[in-house]
Structure 1
Amino acid sequence: MSAESAGATAPREPLFAISSRTVVFGAVGAALYAVLGLFSFVIPGTQNVTVRPAFALVPFFGKRFGIIAGFFVGFVGNAIIDLIQGSGLTYWNWSVANGLVGAFAGLIFAYIPPITGEALRLVVTALGSLLATALGLLFVITDIWLQGISFETFLTLNYGPVLLANGIAVVVLTPALDAIWEPLSKRTGR
């Protein structure tokens, strides 16, 4: 097994390149996230913070297909979910935050050297995905200005609960998705 295929995290093209691969995987990821993201529920006592297991797709697509695809999956997928659920583009900043999670994941994993050990690769995937989630979701601090909430409300009712819920999803499910994808990427040489 080569180090290149074992890690499958080295950038194959420039970081911000838009290719047919980026467009196709971004669109497929956004559609998957939009459909599977409908299976979510609101955490009681929060400001409409939902647990969405499908969120694990966002850092996964960022890791495997790059910054642009990751951003597209998070941004477009979340916007479609909001449109389908009837909130329109009211929470556009949350869609941007979801997109930033995918972009940060693409950026983080572009600079992590290939990892040959399966267990270590999955742990690094979990930690990198959690870091990308924590960084990307910080964008929802804009709720302070857009929704007129206090910083304390932002931390305790918005950011904290969504980071916890999505953090659990990405720590458990993103490595699982990556473990499933790894054999497929070895077969295709990508």
Structure 2
Amino acid sequence: MKKDWLSIRTIVAAGIGAAIFIILRYISIPVGFVPNTTVQLSYIFLALIAVVYGPVAGGLVGLIGHSLGDALQYGSVWWSWVVVSAIVGIGFGLASHFLKISDGEFGWKSIAVFNLFQVVTQAIGWFLIAPILDISIYGEPANKVFVQGFTAGILDIVTVGIFGTLLIWIYTQTRTKVGSLKKEA
């Protein structure tokens, strides 16, 4: 099924998704051993929105949700990580091109494809882009931001890999599988 990634439906999904992303940011678990780094449950929801509505919705939810969440929660926006949240949303959404979520299909092959996309996207984003932007925008010490980025990346990869995959699977169980309905004679 060809997706219309820039439709009213996508924009509405991005708006509602960003609002829910902001709310879910308040549910976070501090790591403790790395400053300003937490387990974020909002990325589980970002994964669902992105694979259902595509990369535009995923990118907008990451961008709007993270920036407004930062502003509301901390009083300022940490743009380097906002950019990565948008990239992660886009990466999750790109996986939707290879998935048949709306057809109710999310078997082992789809799970592997989704997780390949999410691991690669998050690794690039959190291990490289976020620390490099932290250094170039904010002048943060390299050793600090690479530890933060690596820790956040691993936590998000594992969280999305387990709970994001489960949430997407649960969602697909609500969809009617293609060919499952038969016309009565």
Q: TM-score range by the shorter chain?
A: 0.7 to 0.9
Larger displacement relative to structure 2 (47-56 or 25-34): 47-56
Larger radius of gyration: 2
Q: Does 1:38 align with 2:29?
A: no
The DSSP-based 3-state class of the residue aligned with 1:26 is helix
Match of 1:173 in 2: 163
CA distance in structure 2 between the aligned counterparts of 1:147 and 1:59, rounded to whole angstroms: 28
For 2:79, which of 92, 95, 99 is the aligned residue?
92
Higher relative contact order (CA 8 A, sep 6+): 1
Using the aligned pairs only, state the percent identity: 23
What are the Cα deviations for residues 120-167 of structure 1, in whole angstroms up to 9, with x where unaligned? 3223323322222223333312101223234333322x2110101111
**Is the Cα contact below 8 Å between 2:63 and 2:83 reproduced in 1?**
yes
Q: Does 1:152 align with 2:152?
A: no
CA distance in structure 2 between the aligned counterparts of 1:44 and 1:172, rounded to whole angstroms: 22
What's the TM-score once normalised by structure 1's chain length? 0.79
What are the Cα deviations for residues 12-57 of structure 1, in whole angstroms up to 9, with x where unaligned? 23xxx42111111111211111101111133223241121122112
The alpha-carbon distance between structure 1 residues 113 and 75, as it changes in their structure 2 partners (threshold 3 A), is closer
Match of 1:139 in 2: 129
CA distance in structure 2 between the aligned counterparts of 1:152 and 1:44, rounded to whole angstroms: 17
Runs of at least 4 residues of structure 1 off by over 6 A?
Answer: none
For 2:10, which of 18, 22, 28 is the aligned residue?
22
CA distance in structure 2 between the aligned counterparts of 1:104 and 1:11, rounded to whole angstroms: 18
CA distance in structure 1 between the aligned counterparts of 2:154 and 2:2, rounded to whole angstroms: 29
The DSSP-based 3-state class of the residue aligned with 2:33 is coil
What's the TM-score once normalised by structure 2's chain length? 0.81
Q: CA RMSD in A?
A: 2.5
- Structure 1 alignment gaps of length 5 or more: 1-9
**Is the Cα contact below 8 Å between 1:99 and 1:136 reproduced in 2?**
no
**Is the Cα contact below 8 Å between 1:75 and 1:99 reproduced in 2?**
yes
**Is the Cα contact below 8 Å between 2:84 and 2:125 reproduced in 1?**
yes
- Structure 2 alignment gaps of length 5 or more: 179-185
The alpha-carbon distance between structure 1 residues 162 and 186, as it changes in their structure 2 partners (threshold 3 A), is same
* Number of residue-to-residue matches in the alignment: 174
What are the Cα deviations for residues 66-87 of structure 1, in whole angstroms up to 9, with x where unaligned? 1110011111111122122124
**Is the Cα contact below 8 Å between 1:133 and 1:166 reproduced in 2?**
yes
The alpha-carbon distance between structure 1 residues 80 and 117, as it changes in their structure 2 partners (threshold 3 A), is closer
Match of 1:3 in 2: none
